[in-house]
Amino acid sequence: MVENNQNPIDKASQQNLDEAVIKAPIKSKEKPVKRFFTSLLEFWAKHQTAISLAFLAIAILFPILFNQQYFLSIGVNVMLYATLSVSLNLITGFMGITSLSHAAFLGIGAYTAAILSTRLGANFPITFLAGAAMAGLFGLLLGLPSLRIKGRFLAIVTLGFGEIARMVELNWMSLTRGPQGISGIPKVSLFGWIMKTPAQKYYVILVILVLVVLAVAAIMNSRVGRAISAIRDDEVAAEAMGINVFGYKLMVFSISAAFAGLAGAFYAHYMSFIDPNAFSFAQSILILSVTIFGGMASIAGSIFGALTLLALPELLRFLIDYRLIIYGFVLVIMMVFQPNGLLGSFNLKHIKQQAMFRKSQERSES
């Protein structure tokens, strides 16, 4: 009898214990370094908008402070890869589908813009819209037969698509001029105003980056975004909760490709020359590296990833002989200590909600 009575009480206290564990503030038993990072993250989470605006202000002021071709070309490169990485993050980080065809969509956007502008004299906004639309269309066409395939098999299909796209670019001479590439692509002109100085080109890609970031953030903070996260975490449960998983994958894959195509259109106008080499498998791997290094499912991560992987090597140029070694070393260290990427292991929105909720609990207790 006594034993029988004891059982439920034990279990009841066990449950209280479980609840206490969840309710306990995260800070209590952490080491000082970790506590420092926790409060840093909370600060960032709370002032996210202000901090983003501060970074934007720095990006806007950069050409004024460093008005040299060399620095500005680094800036353009960083932002181009940040745009590509954010767009890849939508499908790979947020949705969990590894794609190795991002360079192909970049290329499709670039060739579309190059052909339209050199042959038909088109320019902004037509070349940008057409580049994005064409890449989005090819994303749809690739996704239709392949997005029912899972995991690494899908990655291989996307890799294959990337190679096919490059082969077409190399061999469809009448359209792409093959290995010679297309030259003489005009500069971006905004309703007659030609963007010819390095600073002007810099601002064009800055605007594109900001638009893509805002779009991805808006998507992720919505019903569609929740569906995307649910698909990443558990496709079967997502479908059971009323989400048309295949339909969403198709849509998101196509949008992600369209953003890459938009970046491609900029690339064509910026470089004024394109050839198939720029859209190789190695390019896809570089974009994927930026995304993984910066952090899966983190927009800020993609931007920091691009800053680190594209600006840092330039700054290390004085160590030119050891540059690749240092670069490789950084990547290895990173993968060991922060395998989710620089900013991939936390979600600022969740941190903010948790901090605010904890505070409101404390207030109501006192």
Partner 1 sequence: MAEKILWANNVSQHFGGLVAVDQVSMELNKGEIVGIIGPNGAGKTTFFNDITGMYDPTEGQVFYRGKDITGKKPYEVTELGITRTFQNIRLFDRMTVIENVMVGVHSRTKANIVDSLFRLKNHKETEKKAHEKALSVLELTGLADFRYNYATSLPYGSQRKLEIARALAAEPEILLLDEPGAGMNEMETSQLIAFIRELRDLGYTILIIEHDMRVIMNICDRIYVLDHGKLIAQGKPSEIQSNPDVIEAYLGKEH
Told to check if 175 binds partner 1 by CB under 8 A, we report: no
Terminal C-alpha separation, the chain: 42
CB of residue 213 vs partner 1: minimum separation in angstroms? Answer: 13
CB of residue 26 vs partner 1: minimum separation in angstroms? Answer: 11
Told to check if 29 binds partner 1 by CB under 8 A, we report: no
Tally the C-alpha atoms within 13 A of residue 52's C-alpha that lie toward its C-beta: 15
What is the rounded distance in angstroms from the CA atom of residue 202 to the CA atom of residue 63? 8
What is the rounded distance in angstroms from the CA atom of residue 157 to the CA atom of residue 149? 9
What tokens does 87 get? 């767009």
Told to check if 23 binds partner 1 by CB under 8 A, we report: yes
CB of residue 50 vs partner 1: minimum separation in angstroms? Answer: 20
Name the amino acid, one letter, at 126.
Answer: I
Per-residue x/- marks for partner 1, 94-113, CB under 8 A? --------------------
What is the rounded distance in angstroms from the CA atom of residue 72 to the CA atom of residue 48? 26
* SS3 labels along 60-106: HHHHHHCCCHHHHHHHHHHHHHHHHHHHHHHHHHHCCCCCCCHHHHH
Query: Which residues, 243 to 262, sit near partner 1 by CB under 8 A?
Result: 243-245, 251, 255
Per-residue x/- marks for partner 1, 323-352, CB under 8 A? ------------------------x--x--
What is the rounded distance in angstroms from the CA atom of residue 123 to the CA atom of residue 120? 9
Per-residue x/- marks for partner 1, 212-241, CB under 8 A? ---x--xx-xxxxxxx-xx-xxx-xxxxxx
Told to check if 320 binds partner 1 by CB under 8 A, we report: no
Task: Collect all residues with Cβ–Cβ distance below 8 Å to 69 and sequence separation of at least 6.
Answer: 198
Query: Cα-atom radius of gyration of the chain, to the nearest Å?
Result: 24
Told to check if 121 binds partner 1 by CB under 8 A, we report: no
CB of residue 129 vs partner 1: minimum separation in angstroms? Answer: 15
CB of residue 128 vs partner 1: minimum separation in angstroms? Answer: 17
Cβ-based nearer residue to partner 1, 218 or 335: 218
Contact 348, 45 (CB under 8 A): yes
Told to check if 30 binds partner 1 by CB under 8 A, we report: no
What tokens does 204 get? 């064009």
Told to check if 277 binds partner 1 by CB under 8 A, we report: no
Contact 72, 59 (CB under 8 A): no
What is the rounded distance in angstroms from the CA atom of residue 324 to the CA atom of residue 307? 16
Query: Which residues, 188 to 217, sit near partner 1 by CB under 8 A?
Result: 215
Cβ-based nearer residue to partner 1, 19 or 319: 19
Q: State the residue for tokens 């800070």.
A: 27
CB of residue 333 vs partner 1: minimum separation in angstroms? Answer: 25
Positions touching partner 1 (CB under 8 A) are 7-8, 11-12, 14-15, 18-19, 22-23, 215, 218-219, 221-227, 229-230, 232-234, 236-245, 251, 255, 297, 347, 350, 353-354, 357
